Amino acid sequence: MDLDPGLAALRPLGGFFVLRTPPGPAPAADGAPPRRLPTLAQGYEGAASDGHRDPVALRVAAVGDRLRTGEVRVAASIAQQGLAARLWSAALGCATLYGRVPDLDPRLLRWDALAAAPDDLWLTELRALPGDAATLTGVVLHGHLEPLAAVLRARYGVAAGLLWGNAGSALAATARELSRWARAHGRTDVAARTRALTGELFAHPLLSTAGVRTGTAFRRRSCCLYYRVPGGGLCGDCCFTRPPRSSPDTASG
């Protein structure tokens, strides 16, 4: 099944799966042209856009403001996990429903770093790639999550184990949601393809040590630090059973 121009099959799956495609963002309500959004490549390169800070810095600051946390590593962790969830959702959703994956080259993906969750992504050109695990690994893991992790480690001191735990957690959550949708709609083919692809993805060395999978459940070996957000707590797949009293470094993996 070929990718349709609007990736319409993703829409019933929810906001984390939907990917904007050309012509892109609509004009503002007052008729003004849409803002020119930076690409994810600019974020990974630390490039400024339209006179503002680079989009990764903008996103981390925006997430920190919304969560009311002054701990930049906490904001960086939650921001990274949210973007990882969006990328896994769009890619794995297409792979299971279409059997093809759009090329998510960071230079083709524009990102509204100031938007509310989930991250607003706009794919400027639709190029179909094979929908296998090797392609998903290249498109999401190597194309996005590795350069993003490098930026967050260098700039904010976020531990590598935490970031790969976030990536694994986001992938597991994506697979659970796809499986839930497939069961509800009698799509045994989608459920089987989701299981197979997710299993292959988790075999990658960067993800195989991120946590333990039991069916669709996932228990990570690190903590995303959400418990340090005012009013926050532990996530369902956290390595902890109760919020620690130690410093964030001991929870980062």
Please say if the pLDDT value at position 33 is more than 50: no
Q: 109-112 and 120-123: which strand pairing?
A: antiparallel
> What are the strands, taking DSSP E only, across the chain?
100-102, 109-112, 120-123, 128-130, 211-214, 217-220
Report the pLDDT averaged over residues 75-93.
Answer: 97
Q: What is the mean pLDDT of the chain?
A: 90
CA 52 and chain centroid, separation: 23
Give the DSSP letter of residue 164. Answer: H
In tens, the pLDDT along 119-164 reads: 999 999 999 999 999 999 999 999 999 999 999 999 999 999 999 9
What pTM does this model have? 0.91
Report the pLDDT averaged over residues 232-248.
Answer: 82
Please state, in angstroms and rounded to a whole number, the distance separating the CA atoms of residues 247 and 187: 45
Report the pLDDT averaged over residues 90-95.
Answer: 98
User: CA geometry: angle at 40 spanning 61 and 157, to 5°?
Assistant: 50
DSSP string covering 74-86 = HHHHHHHHHHHHH
Instruction: With beta carbons less than 8 A apart as the criterion, state whether 79 and 59 touch.
Output: yes
In tens, the pLDDT along 178-230 reads: 999 999 999 999 999 999 999 999 999 999 999 999 988 999 999 999 999 99
Q: Is 162 exposed, middle or buried (0-12, 13-18, 19+ CB in 10 A)?
A: buried
Q: How confident is the model at residue 54 (pLDDT cuts 50, 70, 90)?
A: confident
Q: Is 29 exposed, middle or buried (0-12, 13-18, 19+ CB in 10 A)?
A: exposed
CA distances from 26 to 21, 30, 35, 118, 244 (A): 11, 11, 10, 18, 45
Report the pLDDT averaged over residues 229-239.
Answer: 92
Highest mean pLDDT among 19-23, 53-57, 189-193: 189-193
Instruction: With beta carbons less than 8 A apart as the criterion, state whether 123 and 108 touch.
Output: yes
Please state, in angstroms and rounded to a whole number, the distance separating the CA atoms of residues 17 and 1: 18
Report the pLDDT averaged over residues 74-83.
Answer: 97
Please say if the pLDDT value at position 14 is more than 70: yes
